[in-house]
Structure 1
């Protein structure tokens, strides 16, 4: 069962509690939150995974940087010039490193 709470900013906080799993996310529109909550409930029922689809598709640091960039554009605050340059540099240097590697292996 999902719980929807409108925050002071006008965004919607959606919380899903199912089968001892808990996951929460914030959305600009309630409809987006409802769709996400339904997807999370289905994922938990099917395979027990409560990770959002975007997080499951992230395998490298480059993917993580791309996801962050997409999120910033989605909320209307694209990275400024210096941050974009740093992100591009990090992606060049570490983009192919898998997230599953521990810090000791780097």
Structure 2
């Protein structure tokens, strides 16, 4: 295409056919150039996004325990008992309210 443009520029005749052909080729060539520039810009942005997404830093070495982690049975039983006690009081108050207002 560039070669055709150069050959048309060298002829420089006043023939309308050549002028039309030159203008069409020039517009296509310019649009290809702008699209190529846009694509290169998008590729550069994608490369930056990919490279920056893989950057990470270690905060510290991993903590490795000697003993396995086990659930705290006594703590879980106490918390469950307190929640059950509070729910029992709430249900008793709601039941009493329901019976006195109906």
TM over 0.5: no
Q: Which has the larger radius of gyration?
A: 2
TM-score, structure 2 length as denominator? 0.21
Query: Larger strand proportion, structure 1 or 2?
Result: 1
TM-score (norm 1): 0.21
